[in-house]
Amino acid sequence: MERLRFIDGDSHVLEPERIWTDYLEKKYQHLISGHVRWVRTPSGDGSNGAASDNNALAFELEVEVMGRRPLGERDPTAATRNFQDRDLDELDFAYGKWADQDFPASAYREVMDTHGVDHMILYPTAGFWTTGVAEMDGETAMAIRRAYNRWLGDFCQEIGKGACGAASIDLRDPAAAAAEVRRCVKEYDFKAVHLNPAPVPNLRLFDEECDILWDTCAELGVPVGLHPSANHPFDQGLLDYLPGLRNCRATVSFVMGSMLACTGFIMGGVLERHPQLKLVFLESGCGWAAFWLDRLEAGIQGGTRRLRIQGLNHNPVEYFQRQCFVAADQDDPGIEPLIQAIGDHVIVGATDFGHPEGRKYFKAKQDLMELAGVSDESKHKIMWDNALRAYPITPGD
């Protein structure tokens, strides 16, 4: 039986504290500290002592930038603090071995070799918040991003075959971001760009000042991976709608971040101006795209779908079908309706490896192949073919 090939379109690295001393220019080092890691907690889940005898795992994430905490004041292990016993056991099974080794490059190598993952696209974790201070200037923001990219280039080299970095950028200085993308592709052979779509001050995704960045990504053939985050300080609307409901804000921010970014790129004319640009919407499920594109078509024309929209030569669905991809976990209930609404060629598989939600990475292919209502042909496209179209990956590299 032929082995099922699989490209994991959204995995995560866990940034160590030493990035900022080993890779960041000295004049910026006093501005930032932060790390992410799995730790052993003698109090189990942190609230009721469950699994305390096993020193259960907890996900620790801390970032401080320019004297601020973009994540807010919080328990650094809150991501897993209220997990149930069964979830804690799953975490230990999935990550315990590597957590005790500070999640080294060998963890990614072992996952790829053991579980038949041909390529992993590696996105950040702490990096979602490291430039999340409104007063930060573009020069400082790009210095922080460059430091991460330098570390990631070395980390991918240490992992070896199949490790694909995503160049992390900040939008405050689009020209500098474009130069950094070019550098990362040339020096490290990175296969994607990482951008948190939360708006930076005074600039939006569809502003023409950003065209130099989109031109560069299109020229190099690397997609822009749009990966929202939870509780980002630039997601101001969520703070207004859901004050105090921190967990709910996290739930909403991923999906709404993707929907808003999709709107900006399509309705703001970015995909019209840059027909070779590719986008990948990450960690927001895929079901939203099935109805959101229809809403874009219907809402703009007062409910009359598929009429010409000023400044655009195609309708939103056509732009999405031509240039966009959306990542789906192996058990995503949105896969079937998205295939029916848009097609099976826009979905890429993802596990979220490294994060608490990704603890079932080892059965990703099995779970996807067992998904009801989706043909085997579509499943193979999701696991392999679509990612080859989204990312500039050469099979066997």
Q: Which CATH number goes with the domain that contains 25?
A: 3.20.20.140
- With a cut of 70, say whether residue 371 has pLDDT above it: yes
Tally the C-alpha atoms within 13 A of residue 338's C-alpha that lie toward its C-beta.
Answer: 25
- With a cut of 80, say whether residue 75 has pLDDT above it: no
pLDDT in tens, 123-134: 999 999 999 999
Tally the C-alpha atoms within 13 A of residue 161's C-alpha that lie toward its C-beta.
Answer: 9
pLDDT band of residue 56 (cuts 50, 70, 90) is confident
Length of the chain: 397
> Do the domain assignments include residue 83?
no
For 80-141, give the DSSP string.
Answer: HHT--HHHHHHHHHHHHHHHTTTS-HHHHHHHHHHHT--EEEEE-SGGGTTT--TT--HHHH
> For residues 179 and 82, which has the higher predicted lDDT (pLDDT)?
179
Give the count of domains, the chain: 1
> Do the domain assignments include residue 82?
no
- Please compute the mean of the pLDDT values over residues 45-50 and round it to a whole number: 40
| pLDDT of res. 279 | 99
Tell me the C-alpha distance between 391 and 397, whole Å: 13
- List the single range of 206-210, 268-272, 290-294 with lowest mean pLDDT: 290-294
- List the single range of 8-17, 204-213, 295-304, 361-370 with lowest mean pLDDT: 295-304
- With a cut of 60, say whether residue 29 has pLDDT above it: yes
> Do the domain assignments include residue 135?
yes
> Do the domain assignments include residue 125?
yes
Tell me the C-alpha distance between 33 and 129, whole Å: 11
User: Which two three-digit tokens encode residue 117?
Assistant: 């993952």
| pLDDT of res. 315 | 87
| pLDDT of res. 39 | 87
Mean of pLDDT over the chain? 89
> Do the domain assignments include residue 115?
yes
22: containing domain:
7-29+104-390
Q: For strand 119-123 and strand 224-226, is the pairing parallel, antiparallel, or unpaired?
A: unpaired
- With a cut of 80, say whether residue 292 has pLDDT above it: yes
> Do the domain assignments include residue 68?
no
> Do the domain assignments include residue 61?
no
> Do the domain assignments include residue 67?
no
pLDDT in tens, 186-216: 999 999 999 999 889 989 999 999 999 999 9
pTM for this predicted structure: 0.93
> For residues 373 and 238, which has the higher predicted lDDT (pLDDT)?
373
Check if the beta carbon of residue 214 is closer than 8 Å to that of residue 323.
no
| pLDDT of res. 239 | 73
- With a cut of 80, say whether residue 307 has pLDDT above it: no
